[in-house]
Each structure stands twice: as structure tokens, then as C-alpha cells.
Structure 1
Amino acid sequence: STNSLFPQSDPERRNVIRTATSMLCKEVVEPPLHMSRSEAGLKDWEEVEVRVRALARLERVWGKSGIGGSSSNITLESPSGINVGGEERERRLFTEALRDG
């Protein structure tokens, strides 16, 4: 479980995940030239888009509410005041998008 990997809320770690998410979303805006040349390449690229779709939605939410904004309606506040539910959701979506390469 990702919860056991990151037992406590950490704003620095959350910012690292958000930065990596933004970089990933920018890199996969459109398929690389070598993939767009064939039907098989475009089909493979569709799978990439599906995996990154949830991350792109999160990034849009951050853009609307600012980088410190919550990406979730769940408000489980930790003693440090960080939205633990939103942070866990971001971490889970990030790891799911990267699973299997």
C-alpha cells in the first residue's frame, strides 16, 4: 500500500509529486513523431493518454486553485493542516499512471 510508504503528510513530498505530475503531463501532450507514424503507434499512445488522463485533471484543478489548492473534496486534516485525503489521492493517481512503465 502507498500509505505504508508515506505514513505522514509532507508538503515537500507533495510538491515533488505535483512537479513530477506537471512534467509528465507536459511530455505526453501529443505522441512522439515515431509513434504518430503508424496505426499501432497511435493505438499504443492512446493507452498512455488514458493512464495520464486523471493526472491531467488534477493538474487543471491545481491551476485553477493555485499550487497549494486541494485536489479532493475529502478534507481529512492532519495536525499540520495538510489535506491528507487529497495528498493520498494525488500520490495514488501518480503511482497508478506510472505503473507498468
Structure 2
Amino acid sequence: MPGDAAPPSPGRSTSPTARRPIAVRLRNGVLVYTPGKALAAPDAAVTWERRAFERVLFGSTDLAAEVEVGTVRVDGDTQAVADLFGLLDEFPFWFPIVTP
């Protein structure tokens, strides 16, 4: 239920291919990322392969499964990262952009 849990706080994501941190914050319903910045005290630091990120983002797998196989490493609060993905809306792939 909305308001039952505290919203996820700041986190950090690192792509092994990019080799640079990306600061991620959720505030007032807006997800903001800043490439090249690391937060001083994130709730979680995530390092993952791009394909693993895409699989989790598009729902073909979940975070726990990717952590188990080793394509994702979470340092800190794994649940905060899972909660963040749980807040994302799911849209049908071919949703109508323009309707009559």
C-alpha cells in the first residue's frame, strides 16, 4: 500500500562495461541518475552486467535470480534495490502512443 513503507533512498549503480559509477536517487516520485557520481552513503551499491540489468528491468528475471548466478552484485540493502524495481510501472510493449 502506498505510504506503508519508507521510499527507497539513494543508491549507486556501476556497469562493468562503463566502469564508472552512476548515482541514483528517488525523490518525490522522480528517479534521477547522475553518471560519473558516487554517493557518500548509499543504501546499496549495485554492480551488474548490462544484459542482467535489462532482464531485471523488463521482467524476464528478478534481482534475486541474477544475484544468485553472479551477474549482479549488491553491496548493502538488497531489498531496497528490489523495492525500487517494484515501484516501476509495467506497460505493454506495443502501447498506443497516439490514439484517435
TM-score (norm 2): 0.25
Greater helix fraction, Structure 1 or Structure 2? 1
Greater strand fraction, Structure 1 or Structure 2? 2
TM-score (norm 1): 0.25
Q: Which has the larger Rg?
A: 1
Larger RCO, structures 1/2 (Cα 8 Å, 6+ apart): 1
